[in-house]
């Protein structure tokens, strides 16, 4: 997979993709991550990429020209373009799985007070990572890249993410490790029983209980799909 991230601030990503699983995935050739400073595509003599909004208002708006020309330069027939914006569809795990099957993703990081509305015509998807506003799309793009790359074949063992939170509308079950008793809190006996059927049932029951308590919206989806 190739991922291109259109950003005005490539230095913000220093370190973000240089450690742990993301670093290993790049070293093993499972993913290529490229930071594209679209300011270089500006035709303005001073490389401006924003301007005042028509109709007045505070702040500056990203101009269409640098984004369009950058996309024209890097887009391929396999590209899927994602615009990161607070008014996009809320991101969830199914998006991550779907995006992990693509060959080429292009992420556009918004900034300032917004972007020229015509930029939306480039996007295959408009994505938000939550109902809050960030200073720019850079942080959101880091979240997407991390959630997608870890699902690529060969990055981590498939069984490691098959039972994670949000699969089948359920949160993950509780986990424990040594010691068996810590500060008078004990590991549930069923996990020490060696009975794999009982352990599997305990984990499913706990996932359902936790989801119903903490995320009734997900629990409702699970019930509706049953």
How do residues 193-226 score in pLDDT, each as one tens digit? 999 999 999 999 999 999 999 999 989 988 888 7
3 bridge partner residues? 33, 105
Q: Is the peptide bond before 107 cis (omega within 30 degrees of 0)?
A: no
Residue ranges and CATH numbers for the domains of the chain are: 2-158 (3.40.1280.10), 165-225 (1.10.1270.20)
How do residues 20-58 score in pLDDT, each as one tens digit? 999 999 999 999 999 999 999 999 999 999 999 999 888
Per DSSP, the residues of 175-206 read: ---S-SEETTEE--GGGGS--HHHHHHHHHHH
The chain-wide mean pLDDT, for the chain, equals 93
Q: Is the pLDDT of residue 9 over 80?
A: yes
Amino acid 167: pLDDT: 61
pTM of the model: 0.86
């Amino acid at each position: 997979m190739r991922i291109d991230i259109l950003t005005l601030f490539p230095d913000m990503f220093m370190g973000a993709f240089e450690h742990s699983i993301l670093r290993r995935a790049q070293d093993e050739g499972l993913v290529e991550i490229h930071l594209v400073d679209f300011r270089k595509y500006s035709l303005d003599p001073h490389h401006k990429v924003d301007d005042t909004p028509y109709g007045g208002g505070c702040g500056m708006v990203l101009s269409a020209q640098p984004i369009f020309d950058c996309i024209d330069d890097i887009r391929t027939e396999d590209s899927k373009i994602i615009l990161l914006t607070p008014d996009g569809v809320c991101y969830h795990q199914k998006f991550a799985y779907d995006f992990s099957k693509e060959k080429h993703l292009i992420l556009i990081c918004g900034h300032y007070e917004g972007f020229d509305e015509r930029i939306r015509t480039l996007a295959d998807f408009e994505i938000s990572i939550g109902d809050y506003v960030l200073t720019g799309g850079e942080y959101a793009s880091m979240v997407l890249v991390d959630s997608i790359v870890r699902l690529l074949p060969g990055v981590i063992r498939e069984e490691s993410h098959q039972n994670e939170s949000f699969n089948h509308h359920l949160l993950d079950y509780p986990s424990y490790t040594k010691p068996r008793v810590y500060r008078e809190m004990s590991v549930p006996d069923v996990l020490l029983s060696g009975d794999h059927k009982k352990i599997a049932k305990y984990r499913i029951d706990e996932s359902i209980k936790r989801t119903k308590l903490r995320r009734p919206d997900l629990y409702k989806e699970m019930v509706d799909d049953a």
